[in-house]
Structure 1
């Protein structure tokens, strides 16, 4: 049975945020709204929750996973970043961007590309996300709530509840989400930013 919490998108209720984080800490898989689309999330080291997410989205081994972070204080723990790249990331966070970076040994191998050893880092600009991350005290492993046979990610919270019933432990209903995913920028090669996917984040300020 999938639990549903109705959390205010601008003023998240602390009691409900604590309840949602408890689900994450117990190894659960949740669906929640972000500043772009709805997303799926779980604790970084939870193998069972990650396996459920992979099956739900039918992801292959080349899928690039992302860590949702409250701010950039966790950046050095999970990723290797040069000063010019750090300035670029700082200028565009929080916001609708995912930055692909070389991961550190703190990132579980299952979350990184087997050959490239990279990880996505994202700082969202959404009160519910920020409240979840602050309460959790560490990043959340995240992936777009985009079902394999659908053209677009789920955006209507009623659809999120209906389609994910029994497949996730918790749905946070925070109102309608967007259909555009984050803009993905790779900073892996040291040759400046490379656009992997153009999405909600404007590109004119990247270059």
Structure 2
């Protein structure tokens, strides 16, 4: 049975946030708010939790398109090859924000992702998500709670999310109603930025 945990974005309660951290460190799964749709996440360092998410999504972990949710750009070098100044400026301009950036993966990626050439990096503009990652001390691996084919059908009500995901996750964070538009995905792994999916987020800044 999952717990529905109310956290307010304008002032995330440290006690409630630490409850989430404890669950993540024990290999639990959470559903949490972002600046787009609600996401399903786990600790990037916990292999069993990663495998659990892959099973739920019906994909092989090595071939999954999960995003890495980071607090800021400071730990990018842990997962991404050295990027040029132009790319860094794009990231700096857009983040935190409703974008997923595809970047060339480094050799120090966690084991399940070692063979990946690229990784999806997200720094959502949501105080709850960012505080969780900050207190955890490393990124969480994340995927939207609905398949991309059904973007319009995204669940936005935390109580309805709880009903559907009750037996699959440990905590559903109620951070208020979520959006129903996914992030814009931009590939920065080659010479020119390529928009792979247009979602929330202004493309004019590119």
Give 2:17's aligned residue.
17
> C-alpha displacement at 1:4, in angstroms?
1.9
- The answer to whether the Cα contact below 8 Å between 1:56 and 1:147 also exists between their aligned partners in 2 is no
Does the Cα contact within 8 Å between 1:58 and 1:148 map onto a contact in 2?
Answer: no
2:105/2:118 contact within 8 Å kept:
yes
Q: RMSD across aligned C-alpha pairs, in angstroms? A: 1.8
Matches within 5 A, 1:4-83: 4-59=4-59, 62-80=63-81, 81-83=83-85
Report the structure, 1 or 2, having the larger helix content: 2
CA distance in 2, matches of 1:196, 1:147: 16
**1:105-120 to 2 correspondence within 5 Å?**
105-111=107-113, 114=115, 117-120=117-120
For 1:118-160, what per-residue CA distance to the aligned partner results, in whole angstroms no more than 9, with x for missing partners? 1111111111012111211111111111158955322111121
Question: Does residue 87 of structure 1 match 2:89?
Answer: yes
TM-score for the superposition, normalised by structure 2? 0.92
TM-score, length of structure 1 as denominator length: 0.91
Helix, strand or coil at the partner of 1:181: coil
Secondary structure in 2 matching 1:98: strand
Shift of the 88–45 alpha-carbon distance from structure 1 to 2, 3 Å rule, reads same
Q: In the alignment, is residue 177 of structure 1 matched against residue 181 of structure 2?
A: no
Stretch moving more, 164-173 or 75-84: 75-84
Q: Which residue of 1 aligns with 2:197?
A: 197
Question: Residues 69 and 153 from structure 1, CA distance in 2 versus in 1: closer, same or farther, beyond 3 angstroms?
Answer: same
Alignment partners' CA distance in 1, 2:167 and 2:18: 22
The 1-side partners of 2:150 and 2:199 are apart by 17
Question: Gaps (5+ residues) in structure 1?
Answer: none
Residue 147 to residue 163, structure 1, CA distance change in 2 (3 Å): farther
Which deviates more, 151-160 or 13-22?
Answer: 151-160
Counterpart position of 1:168: 169
Shift in CA distance, 159/67, structure 1 to aligned 2, threshold 3 Å: same
How far apart are the structure 1 equivalents of 2:163 and 2:142?
20
Counterpart contact for 2:54–2:64, Cα < 8 Å:
no
Residue in structure 2 matched with residue 155 of structure 1 by the alignment: 156
Q: In the comparison of the two structures, how many residue pairs are matched? A: 203
The SS at the match of 1:72 is: coil
